[in-house]
Structure 1
Amino acid sequence: MFIHLGGEKIIRTSELIAIFDLSIEKSSKISKSFVQHAQKEKNVEVIGEEECKSIVVTKTKVYYSPISSTTLKKRTSNLLMSDIETFSNQRSR
């Protein structure tokens, strides 16, 4: 399955590690350090030109998304529930 992060960016859900509200960058020294390290490694991508609202961490990159963390988490939950239903239906056959 895939998740739309905003703009033209779509990632595989299997690549997703975490979704954070952008405010975590200001409130957590560890998070700020993590993002700074990713920037030094050139593994950060800002999606679109709108104001960033969330940070999405994948296995290979850190994305600044214009979509709120709440909306992104709902999208992943919906995909997860869809996967569970598909799996359950396959097992009951």
Structure 2
Amino acid sequence: MFIHIGSDEVVLKKDVIMILDKYALVSKDTSDFMQVAKEEGFVQGEDGMDKKSIIICDKKIFFSPISSVTLLKRSNFLKNL
């Protein structure tokens, strides 16, 4: 199954490791992780986009203009949300 994450991007549900809110970047550990991922070329679709959430997949990291709550609902990870 696919999850539409905005900006004409879709990811496989089975590849999603974590969906983070944009405020997670405030944490030093998360910002350090994202800096290393950016330097190594794992970060996709960051330029000029309103970032509301971060989707960490198996081999790539995406920024999305869609909120993390909406992405969670789309993914059906939790059925009673």
Identity within the alignment, %: 37
Partner of 2:10: 10
Q: Deviations over 1:29-51 (max 9, x none)?
A: 11111111110001101268541
Q: Is the 8 A contact 1:3 1:11 kept in 2?
A: yes
Q: Deviations over 1:36-71 (max 9, x none)?
A: 111000110126854110000001011110000010
How large is the RMSD of aligned CA atoms in angstroms? Answer: 1.8
SS in 1 for 2:76: helix
Partner of 1:91: none
Q: Is the 8 A contact 1:6 1:47 kept in 2?
A: no
What TM-score do the two structures reach when normalised by structure 1?
A: 0.77
SS in 2 for 1:67: coil
What TM-score do the two structures reach when normalised by structure 2?
A: 0.87
Contiguous gaps of at least 5 residues in structure 1: 82-93
Quick one: distance in 2 between partners of 1:74 and 1:43?
25
Q: Is the 8 A contact 1:48 1:66 kept in 2?
A: no
Give the structure, 1 or 2, with the largest relative contact order (CA under 8 Å, sep 6 or more): 2
Quick one: distance in 2 between partners of 1:25 and 1:6?
20
Contiguous gaps of at least 5 residues in structure 2: none
